[in-house]
Amino acid sequence: MTDSKTSETETADLETFRSETRVWLEANCPPEMRKPATSDTDVFWGGRNAKFASEPQRIWFERMRDKGWTVPDWPKEYGGGGLSAAEHKVLRAEMGRIGARPPLSSFGIWMLGPALLKYGNEAQKKEHLPKIAAGLIRWCQGYSEPNAGSDLASLQTRAESDGDDFVITGSKIWTSYANYADWIFCLVRTDSAAKKHDGISFILFDMTSKGVTTKPILLISGYSPFCETFFDGVRVPKSHVVGTVNRGWDVAKYLLQHERAMISGMGERGVGRPLGQIAADSVGTDPQGKLDDSMLRGRIASFDVDEAALAACAERAVDLAKAGQAHPAFSSAMKYYGTELNKRRYEILMSAGGVDALEWESERSRQGARPRAWLRTKANSIEGGTTEVMLGIVAKRILDLPGA
């Protein structure tokens, strides 16, 4: 704000961008893509074997991809839209205004991409980022192991040096959509003599490599979004290590910040019909139009207050990051609150739905969509770091409390 003329010009440019974006979205976002996704098939994940669930989904994805707006703030040279932080915020607001769905969902966009932009070498960026942006390659995350959950750094999957390659042996668990993924970003132990944080490397490889197998895990929701993933002597070129060998924990932590930001967003998905109206359909209203269950009404109203406040905080977190004032561990704070809030949302939805929300297998219930989604949310406060781990991080890294 040193030069008021400059900032006036910038504001004017931004308003031009806003009006152009609005017009473009109006003309290019199909009406079907302006409704919230209600099931996993409504979400386009990309990848070698990707299929579009509908023609509008294809059209919307391709139009956005052609503008670089699957990853609006990535540099253009890597397939992004090259938008400034302010323009990106405008685009999000304008998409939100018409309820436009994200054209492409992917762990490549949310997690690997930011880590590659920061830690990847030029060859790695050129190879992988454009394919993520264009939805050509679907990625999965090889982090947790059977004996390394909350204590992730104790992971045991070995990568042994053999000439120009590493040979990887071990297993991962809770690998989201590993059975659909084309490539994996994976934490492996490259030095077993070093202290646990110091012998880890961050490596990329193709899931069709010899020695990789996956086995879906059936969850309480009846779905299998997670897999066990086994590596039996998988040969990977050393050039696939991101960052420095044995310094993979830095990359891993940086990526986790993005993962946590992604998961915390679940708590503030204020799209679709408001909870109060969903509840009114099933529990009814009194003559004044108030929900006919005053305790439930109170819970919903408290939820709405917290959800709106969290949305403000998420917006502020982005603004602070852009201003260079964000605490790097703040994503842990947001992850904790966002996931707990999302669990509250689904407890309310189950309570509001009553008996109707209990059907597990019927057309009427869309094969139990609500109870399955309710059960799915219970993982929110476990995956990507448990609530307890998040609170520990806040206590130590932000509040600087003593111990461990």
Q: Which residues would be at the binding site for other proteins (CB under 8 A)?
A: 1, 274, 276-277, 279-280, 285, 289-291, 297-298, 300-302, 304-306, 308-310, 312-313, 315-316, 319-320, 322-323, 325, 330, 333, 336-337, 388, 390-392, 394-396, 398-404
Nearer to other proteins, 112 or 394 (CB): 394
Least Å from the CB of residue 61 to other proteins: 30
CA distances from 268 to 50, 97, 110, 210, 263 (A): 28, 15, 17, 41, 10
In angstroms, give the least distance from the CB of 268 to other proteins: 11
Distance of CA 189 to the CA centre of its chain: 25
Phi, psi dihedrals of residue 362, rounded to the nearest 5°: -165, 155
Q: How far is the CB of 401 from other proteins (least distance, A)?
A: 4
Q: Which residue, 146 or 298, has its beta carbon nearer to other proteins?
A: 298
Query: Looking at beta carbons only, is 95 or 334 nearer to other proteins?
Result: 334
Q: E strands within 17-152? A: 139-142
What are the residues whose beta carbons fall under 8 Å from the beta carbon of 219, sequence distance 6 or more? Answer: 225, 226, 375, 376, 379
Q: 287 vs 402, which CB is nearer to other proteins?
A: 402
C-beta separation of 295 from 335 below 8 A = no
DSSP labels, 266-329 = GGG---SS-HHHHHHHHH-B-TTS-BS-HHHHHHHHHHHHHHHHHHHHHHHHHHHHHTT---TT
Q: How far is the CB of 399 from other proteins (least distance, A)?
A: 6
Beta carbon of residue 366, minimum distance to other proteins (angstroms, whole number): 24
Question: What minimum distance in Å lies between the beta carbon of 228 and other proteins?
Answer: 31
Q: Compare residues 363 and 400 and give the one whose CB is closer to other proteins.
A: 400
| Residue among 83 and 137 whose Cβ is closer to other proteins | 83
